[in-house]
Amino acid sequence: MDKKIVFSAVQPSGIPTIGNYVGSIKNWVNMQDEYNCIYSLADLHTLTVKQIPAELRQRSYELLALYLAAGLDPNKSVIFAQSHVPAHAELTWILNTVTYPGELQRMTQFKDKSSRHAENVNMGLLDYPVLMAADILLYGTDFVPVGADQKQHLEITRDLAIRFNNRYSQTFTVPEPLIPKVGAKVMSLQDPEKKMSKSDENPNAYISMNDSTDDIIRKFKRAVTDSEACIKFDEENKKGISNLLTIYSLFSGMTIPEAEKQFEGVGYGEFKLAVGEQVANVLQPITAEKNRILSDKAYLESVLKDGAEKANYLAHKMMRKVYKKVGLIQL
């Protein structure tokens, strides 16, 4: 039986957090045997906000090295930079012709980034969801891994696929969300009402995949909890402790009830230290391997070149079909 196709991408716009790791990268690694996986560095997407070119290039290499260190295998998955496949931009133009300005102006991300980058509200920012739709539809994607809170990001892709198919006949697979069974939503260590984010102004609010063991333990020691001195999972009344139990569960492989039992009667200080040590123990070998891979530029270039060749082959097949459907002369 043919394997289903999974597509996902991450912007090299900063060092991923442990939330990105357990919510995306770790799941990607586990999917490689079950699906035909296509994973991209979404470097074109980063250009919607101002970038320092040399830093963007370096972050792209760092993200690729992290993918590989975490267990993504270029022999099992297609791993490539979005900008190395011109069809992403070409399909965006075609999809723009079936996209309505109003639906783009209503997108949460556009409203949010417009307010945060008022000095740079550009067409790329508005058109971002169409490029994202092109990323997904180019490869006949069946599933897109998303968190429960990101399902709306996939809706416009589905709408555009259906609209194009209705106008030009069946062309695109309408992708479905693939939501992880474990609700891997990691919250801020300083404000457990908010999702952990690499763009948080408070560096104590998130654990970066680049943090040292000392940094990790220090940040967990400072994590916001409550004054009840009881380690139990209660997302309504004990958000901080519930977040720490979730993180411990994700990094130890224990269920949350097992973790609650392990820490019964333990003080918050000891519990926070144990969570920090568990996270550090998992990240240490990944960080060491990432740094080793990062020092081998020739290997990184070869992975990108091989990935670009595979992705371009698949994308070219789709673009031939799309161009024929819309009435363009075939070369």
Indicate whether 216 belongs to any domain: yes
Please indicate, yes or no, whether residues 152 and 179 belong to a single structural domain of this protein.
yes
- Please, which pLDDT band fits residue 112 given cuts at 50, 70 and 90? confident
**Co-location of 286 and 303 in the same domain:** no
Phi, then psi, of 93 in degrees rounded to 5: -65, -45
Contacts 24+ apart (CB under 8 A), 61-64: 61/294, 61/297, 61/300, 62/12, 62/15, 62/290, 62/294, 63/10, 63/12, 63/16, 64/300, 64/303, 64/304
Cα–Cα dist 247/69, whole Å: 21
172, part of any domain: yes
Q: What is the pLDDT of residues 209-226, one digit of tens each?
A: 999 999 999 999 999 998
Say what the pLDDT of residue 7 is: 96
- Over the range 21-50, which residues count as b (16 or more CB within 10 Å of their CB) and which as e? bbbbbbbbbebbeebbbbbbbbbbbbebee
Residues 150 and 215 in one domain: no
How many CB atoms neighbour CB 266 within 10 A? 13
Predicted pLDDT of residue 64: 96
Q: What pLDDT score was predicted for residue 70?
A: 95
Residues 160 and 301 occupy one common structural domain: yes
Q: Is residue 193 part of a domain?
A: no
Give residue 47's domain range. 5-184+297-326
Q: Write out the catalytic residue numbers.
A: 113, 195, 198
* 180, 207: one domain: no
142 shares its domain with 217? no
Task: Specify whether 170 is located in the same domain as 222.
Answer: no
- Average pLDDT of 38-58? 94
Query: Can you give the pTM of this predicted structure?
Result: 0.89
Q: Of residues 296 and 30, which shows the higher confidence score?
A: 296
Q: How many Å apart are CA 248 and CA 254, to the nearest integer?
A: 8
Total domains in the chain come to 2
Q: Is residue 191 part of a domain?
A: no
Task: Check whether residue 41 and residue 174 sit in a common domain.
Answer: yes
Shared domain check, 176 and 208: no
Residue 108: the pLDDT is 73
Residue 160 lies in a domain: yes
Position 149 scores a pLDDT of 61
Q: With bands split at pLDDT 50, 70 and 90, how would you rate the model's confidence at 109? A: confident
141 and 211 part of one domain: no
- The CATH number of whichever domain residue 78 belongs to comes to 3.40.50.620
Q: Break the chain down into helix, strand, coil percent, rounded to 5.
A: 60, 10, 35
Using only the alpha carbons of the chain, give its radius of gyration. 21
Contact 200, 188 (CB under 8 A): yes
Instruction: Please check whether residue 230 lies inside any domain of the structure.
Output: yes
CATH number at residue 272: 1.10.240.10
36 lies in some domain? yes
Q: Band of the pLDDT at 182, cuts 50, 70, 90?
A: low
pLDDT of residue 46: 93
Is 153 among the domain residues?
Answer: yes
Same domain for 212 and 315, yes or no, is: no
Q: Are residues 255 and 286 in the same domain?
A: yes
**Are residues 193 and 208 in contact, defined by beta-carbon separation less than 8 angstroms?**
no
Query: Given this model, what pLDDT does residue 184 score?
Result: 60
Average pLDDT over residues 84-108: 93
Please give the mean pLDDT across all residues of the chain. 92
The backbone torsions φ and ψ at residue 36, rounded to the nearest 5 degrees and listed phi first, read -85, 110
* Integer CA distances (angstroms), 76 to 38, 68, 141, 241, 317, in order: 9, 12, 16, 38, 21
